[in-house]
Amino acid sequence: MMGSQDDADARPAADADTAVDPVCGMTVQLFGTPITLVHNDATYAFCCAGCRNVFAERASASRSRVGD
């Protein structure tokens, strides 16, 4: 019974390193992912470029409603 550091598996509760893909709901790593998009001052991460495109289209679609 030597060593009381068996709790190395304890994970920090912070979710700062992960984000939820707003399109498909998948949890993705923020750190190191190339597929991100900054919208309304928030950084979104996506599992794939397809999801990013869907989100970008929605964002621009809601914008284009302005006018008229």
Site string for Zn ion, 9-48 (x = CB under 5 A): ------------x-xx-x--------------------x-
Size of the site for Zn ion (CB under 5 A): 6
Place of tokens 């979710």: 15
Q: Tell me the DSSP string of 11-60.
A: PPS--TTEEE-TTT--EEESTT-S-EEEETTEEEE-SSHHHHHHHHHHHH
Q: How far is the CB of 4 from Zn ion (least distance, A)?
A: 41
Residue ranges binding Zn ion (CB under 5 A): 21, 23-24, 26, 47, 51
